[in-house]
Structure formats: C-alpha cells, structure tokens
Structure 1
Amino acid sequence: MVKFTLPESASGLRVVPDSQLDLRPEAEILAELHTFRPITSEKNVWAFWDKGLDFMYPSYRCTILNWVRKLGRSWTIRVIDLVEGSPNNIYNYVSKDWFPDCFISRTMDGKHAAQHAADLVRLPLLFKYGGVWMDVGNMLHTHLDHLFWNHLTAPNSPYEMATWIITGQIRKQWGSFGNYMLAARKGCIFIKNWHNCYKELWNGRTNAVDFHKLPLMKDIGLAEGMADWFSEDKVRGMSDYVAHMLIGDRTRNLLDLNTGWNGREFYENKVFMVEGIQNGILGAIKTDYDGAKQIELFTTPLDEPDAVKRKAAEDFIIEVLQKSHMYKVYHNSAGGLPALGDLIKKKGFEDADHRPGTFGEMYRYGTVHWEPTREVEREVPQPTNEDLIRATPTTAAIREPDEK
C-alpha cells in the first residue's frame, strides 16, 4: 500500500500508529481469511458472500482487507459463505435448525435471494458467538472498539446490543435501525427473537414476494419512510425487500405474551444507538445520491492538473473520513440514479474506489491509517406514540374482525 501524508486540511483526523494495525502482506491476510478459525472470543466481525471470498467484487474484497488492517489482531474477520466444503460454510458455525427449508435446500429464488440469505445468516451468528455484523459494502472509518464494542463491554455496562439509527429511511417512526451494521453480545435475546420472527416469514415460501401481506408484517406495517419518493406499489415491493429491518422494528415494539419480554424496554435501556445517516451515507448525501459523481471524485488523479478538481476530490475524501464513521456502498434498488454500489459492478469501474494513483487510493489508505478525532455520540432514546405489539416472536397480534 502506497503511503500518504495526512493533508494539512484534515484537522479532524489523526494518524493511527502502525503498532495498532495489521500490516501483513495482502496474500497472507487472504490466505488466513480462507481458513476456518475457531471462535475464542466475542470480538468477531461477521460478513457474508454466498459464493465465497474469491467471487467478491474487487471493491468489497478491498473493504474486507482494510477491516483486517484497521482492526488489528484482537478482532477476527470471517466471510461466511454457502459453498459446499468451504471452511467458512455457514454450517461450520451454526446448525440447520436456524434456517427455513428453502435456505437448507438451496431453493430460495427471487431477485434478491442472496441478500435475503444474508438476512437469515447474520443473526444466528451474532446470537451464538457475539460480535459485529457488517455488510461487505461498509468502508469503515472508526475502529469498532470505539464505535460499539467498548460501550457494550465496559464494566457494569447496561448495553447488550448496538444499532445504527436510520429513522425515516425505512419507517418514519424514531428508532428504526439498519441491519447492515449491528453489534451484540453473545446470547442477546433481542437478536434471537428478531431472527425467529424473520425465519417464520419464510415458512413454506421460497421468496419474499408479498411478505408485506403476512400477519407478522402487518403488525408493524409498510416501509412508509419510502412513501415520499416512490409509488404505493414500489413501497410494497420495497417493504418485501427490507422485511428483515421491518421485523427488527416489530421486535423492538414487541411485548411477548408467552414470556413477558418487553422489546421496547430492552431497546430503550440495553441498546447503544449511533446516528447512522450522516455517519453512514455522507458521501452519497454530498453528491446528491449520484453514484457517478462519487466515481468522478474517487477516480480523480492525484496529479490532476486542474486545481479545482483536485481540491474537490481531496475535500470530499477528507470530509467523509472526518465526519462519518463509515461509508456505505449501497445499491439503488428502487430506480433512479445509480448508486456507487451499482456502478462498481460494471466493467471499467470495478476498482473505482481504490484505483492506484487516484484520490480513491488516498481514501482507502485513510480508512486504515487515519481515524476521526471526534468522539462517538450515543443517540438518546426518544418518546414514541406507537402501541406495543402484544404477540409473540412467531405469532401475530390478534386483530378485530374488521381490521385489515
């Protein structure tokens, strides 16, 4: 990796000492990632690529490598897959009892089958072993110890779970959270209840079409946070797609009639919450959600002769490194301008966010060797006017006959 000097304009960044990093050669890190490593602590990063590490897009593989470098040797990063005979096959970690029939038989279908397989994988791993789940598009800026883990493991800490608050992105009610960045202690009941509910949606099904019509989903409703941008049909379709996050919201509003477990009390008292919009998609916000603009900035040559373009690219990468805890490479699944995640899959753009000799290369160096000086702020739970859902993780609330 080429070395960069911290720019003078980066007043909100500091250099991470090499002694805190894992700077082994790329080939050595990749070789280790391909092996099964016994689980000896809760400091696990879990990620997923159904076909295995070798078939990842280059951007995502770069991200995984930089997690290893950033987090050092106290964390173990694992990329779980569905490849038969793979050392990192999901069944080397959890039993088939955790999954619906279509997952076990490999008959899941539909446009987003791989993403929904990841939804089924993430929570059993967190419940059984603890750690942090990260989607492979999460380009990390802040060390996970500072971001989540120190808060969960401090002496007498009340927290058992940490979430990425994205109110308004999925549902409009305060407290909705993303499933693509999530931390939990081993044995967290919220995680188990959430997974059991989502697994139940798949009972007798092979895809997520019309999930929003199922009784468990009706307990929480549609992803109405998307209603301002899309037609009603798209909102219903997107609700099917993000059903895992909607079920997460159902879980945080659940009063389990069988056990008395109160999801709202748990969420307000035992969950460490971090604002996840500015801290997750600042790069997209700064470019009006236009992936092509982000590509243009990342691929600006370091020796670009146009001083205005050169300054714009440097200012962009410094701002996102200083003011956000990660940079989520997401896809635009509902139409509109292509997002960065859509473009890095296309020929000619596979290395656009880390191309040698560009500001993308400087950015990637910065995700490892630099870190924000600002502290991680905890979001304070806000009052809610939502009724508790009186049901169980796997059975819906009883409705009056005239309720739809």
Structure 2
Amino acid sequence: MHFAIPPEYQSELEAIEPVDLRPDEEILSSIEQHRPVTSEKNIWAFWDSGIRAIPSWCQRNVISWARICGADWTIRVLDMRPDSPNHVLKFVDREMLPEAFLSGTMDGHHAGQHSADCVRGPLLFRYGGVSMDVGCLLIRHIDRICWDLLADPDSPYEIAVPVLYDQTIANHFVAARKNNIFIDKWFCADNACAWFVTRAMASKALNTGSVTFSALALNEVWGGEKTLGFDGIGPRMYNLLTTRLDADVDSVAYKDAYKLVWRLLSKSSFQKVTRAKNLTHTPHLGTLWDQNEGQDCMPGSFGEYGTERYTSARSVRISSIRKLVSPEVS
C-alpha cells in the first residue's frame, strides 16, 4: 500500500518498500539480544532501564530504524540493567565512563540525557558507527545521510554531526569512524561527560591533531521547526500530525499538515523530537507523545505513514564550518 506522492513532490521522492519486513515484536526481540561488534556499521542508543522500558513511540522509532537501514546496520539499545545482554559494560571499560554514571548518582531533570551523553563517546571511539537518541525520527537511510561519505577512502570527512544556525553542533546524532581524535577529545577526555564542543575545539589537546567533519544543516534535522517556526512547535506538530488525511483539504490544519509532512519526507534526513523538560513555555512533541499513547501513528492521520515508504534522491547539504579562533582553554 502506498499513498500517492503529490505532483509537486514527484521529482523529489520515490515510493519504496521497507528493507526489513519482520513484525515489530520480532525486531524488538532481536535488538534485545547481545551481538558482538563485527563492523563500524553500528547504531548506538541508550536507555538505562532497557528497550522495553522506553516510551512506545520511541520503540516505534527504533523499529523504524531497522526497517529503513536493514541488516547491514546493527542496532543496539544499551542499558544499565543487571545481567542485561546489552549492559554498557559489556561494550566499554569502566575506566572510560564517569563515576557518577557508574554509581547511578546523577540526578536532576536531565539525568537520562546526560547518561546517554556519557556512553556515546566511548562507543563511537572504540567501535565507530552512529549514536542516536531514541527520539530521532529517521527519514533517510544512514548510508545516504552521511556514512557513504565517511566510509569513502577518498573522502576527507571523518565525522558527521547536526549544526544549528551554523553556530552550535548537537549530539543527538553523531556519526564517526572509530578511533577518531575529535570524538576522543569531545566526549572521552579525562572521563568528562559530553564536553561543550567550543571548549573541546579550543583546547590544546584537540589542536594536537586534525579532524574534518561534515555538519548536517538545519533543514536536514529540524525540518519541523524550519517549516513552522520554533514558537509553540510542540503542540503545533502534535496537532498537525494527528490531522486526518480525509479532513477538509481547504482547512488550515490540513494545509499545514500537508506542508509539514511532505516537506519532511522530501527535504529532511531525520526529525529530532525533544521533550525539553522545564525549558520551554509549551510542552514539546516528545512530552505530548509520552502523555498520549498512540498519537504518533493514529490510523488515517498524517503521522501514520511515510518514513519507511519513501526515499529522496537528493544529496545532504554539508555546511561549511569556519575555523574557531578563541583563547586557549586549559
């Protein structure tokens, strides 16, 4: 079954079938199993209490990663559950992790996010691959987002990260070849937990080596915000993605939902869905989906269908990164 691609997008999109057709439960069960690392094509995620404990919309995200990327990529959702086959310490040494993470003494509203930050660096440095937050709605195959370029022996690029307004790089999606010096200094140095990139890039330690990275632009990662604006983005995206396909095509809701969804499918690599706990005046989309089970994929809605069924032939735009000039940081 395919929904028809609108005429104005037919030159940008083509219909495809998912490369992994297993039932959802079979995909989840396979991700729960321990699989030794045999290549750099690894998708790393973290949830301290395990994949079965993550919100259902995030589970569907992870399942969708498998349907889009197929068997060439191994998905692992690591955790800190005793006797878990995917316990973090089955993949990295204790010495690579901060004591606060190991002892479970981190607290505050963002302890979970900080915990994920602690493990992504050691994993990428040791094994390579892509670290993604479970809240990332993947829209394109990772090979086409960046990995084909990173793996090309003639390419100068070693890592790929999203950049916001050419100012700040984010860490909810980080792709890197293993043993990369930037990853080592950004995440792993002195057991630090997710250094600010400006600090890392200005440090004498990083300046001892060189690194070239590609940066995915705002259009590729925050397409919802690019299309609708940041003000009240959570409730707006929530309402638009639950808009029914059989709604009045002349209504504002239908027109905005149509514009949002087809723009994401044709021009974005993924959509970062955040919770932004206590950081904004209105709840973000992740919080609303946490509170409203199944609203991310309501039958007959604009949110039900698409990321596994269409692909774009375009190339990802690589942002030019200006060399930072700043005082040395000790």
TM exceeding 0.5: yes
Matched AA of 1:288: G
1:11 match = 10
Query: In the TM superposition, what whole-angstrom CA distance separates every residue of 1:124-181 from its partner, at most 9, and x where no partner exists?
Result: 11011100011111111121111111111112322221121124xxxxxx55311111
1:63 match = 61
1:177 match = 169
The 8 Å contact of residues 12 and 322 in structure 1, kept in 2 or not, is answered as no
Query: 2:91 & 2:221 partners in 1: Cα distance?
Result: 29
Query: In the TM superposition, what whole-angstrom CA distance separates every residue of 1:191-246 from its partner, at most 9, and x where no partner exists?
Result: 12222347347xxxxxxxxxxxxxxxxxxxxxxxxxxxxxxxxxxxxxxxxxx352
Query: 2:258 & 2:26 partners in 1: Cα distance?
Result: 31
The 8 Å contact of residues 160 and 214 in structure 2, kept in 1 or not, is answered as yes
Residue 279 of structure 1 deviates from its aligned partner by: 1.9
Question: Which of 272, 275, 279 is 2:214 aligned to?
Answer: 272
The 8 Å contact of residues 16 and 311 in structure 2, kept in 1 or not, is answered as no
Query: In the TM superposition, what whole-angstrom CA distance separates every residue of 1:333-388 from its partner, at most 9, and x where no partner exists?
Result: 42312111121111xx23222112211103xxx21121223211221222444234
Evaluate the alpha carbon distance shift between residue 5 and residue 250 of structure 1 in structure 2; reply closer, same or farther with a 3 A threshold.
same
1:300 match = 243
Query: 1:190 & 1:311 partners in 2: Cα distance?
Result: 43
2:103 match = 105
Identity of aligned residues (%): 35
Query: 1:60 & 1:328 partners in 2: Cα distance?
Result: 12
Task: Confirm whether residue 371 of structure 1 aligns to residue 311 of structure 2.
Answer: yes
Query: In the TM superposition, what whole-angstrom CA distance separates every residue of 1:2-35 from its partner, at most 9, and x where no partner exists?
Result: 64333334235423543x7112221211110111
* Larger mean Cα displacement after TM superposition, 319-328 or 126-135: 319-328
Residue 120 of structure 1 deviates from its aligned partner by: 0.5
Query: 1:335 & 1:91 partners in 2: Cα distance?
Result: 35
Query: 1:134 & 1:368 partners in 2: Cα distance?
Result: 17
- Give 3-state SS (helix, strand or coil) of 1:23's partner: coil
1:221 match = none
Matched AA of 2:227: K
Query: In the TM superposition, what whole-angstrom CA distance separates every residue of 1:297-342 from its partner, at most 9, and x where no partner exists?
Result: 1111222246424343222200122122211101234231211112
Matched AA of 2:276: N
- Give 3-state SS (helix, strand or coil) of 1:376's partner: coil
1:327 match = 271
Task: Confirm whether residue 361 of structure 1 aligns to residue 301 of structure 2.
Answer: no
* Larger mean Cα displacement after TM superposition, 107-116 or 27-36: 107-116
2:260 match = 316
Query: In the TM superposition, what whole-angstrom CA distance separates every residue of 1:72-113 from its partner, at most 9, and x where no partner exists?
Result: 111111111111111111111112111122222222222221
The 8 Å contact of residues 122 and 188 in structure 2, kept in 1 or not, is answered as no
1:213 match = none
Question: Which of 150, 153, 157 is 1:152 aligned to?
Answer: 150
Aligned length: 326
Question: Which of 202, 217, 237 is 1:253 aligned to?
Answer: 202
Matched AA of 2:298: R
TM-score (norm 1): 0.75
Alignment map for 1:27-106 (pairs within 5 Å): 27-106=25-104
Structure showing greater Rg: 1
- In the alignment, structure 1 segments of 5+ residues that lack a partner are 168-173, 202-243, 390-396, 398-404
The 8 Å contact of residues 160 and 215 in structure 2, kept in 1 or not, is answered as yes
Query: 1:16 & 1:4 partners in 2: Cα distance?
Result: 9
Alignment map for 1:116-265 (pairs within 5 Å): 116-167=114-165, 174-197=166-189, 199-200=191-192, 244=194, 246=196, 248-256=197-205, 261-262=206-207
The CA RMSD measured in Å over matched residues stands at 2.1
1:382 match = 322
Matched AA of 1:98: M
1:340 match = 285
The 8 Å contact of residues 284 and 294 in structure 1, kept in 2 or not, is answered as no
Evaluate the alpha carbon distance shift between residue 177 and residue 12 of structure 1 in structure 2; reply closer, same or farther with a 3 A threshold.
farther
Query: 1:314 & 1:77 partners in 2: Cα distance?
Result: 31
Matched AA of 1:274: L
Query: 1:383 & 1:108 partners in 2: Cα distance?
Result: 34
TM-score (norm 2): 0.91
Query: 1:369 & 1:152 partners in 2: Cα distance?
Result: 25
Query: 1:285 & 1:376 partners in 2: Cα distance?
Result: 16
2:228 match = 287
Query: 2:145 & 2:227 partners in 1: Cα distance?
Result: 23
The 8 Å contact of residues 202 and 325 in structure 2, kept in 1 or not, is answered as no
Query: 2:11 & 2:199 partners in 1: Cα distance?
Result: 38
- In the alignment, structure 2 segments of 5+ residues that lack a partner are none
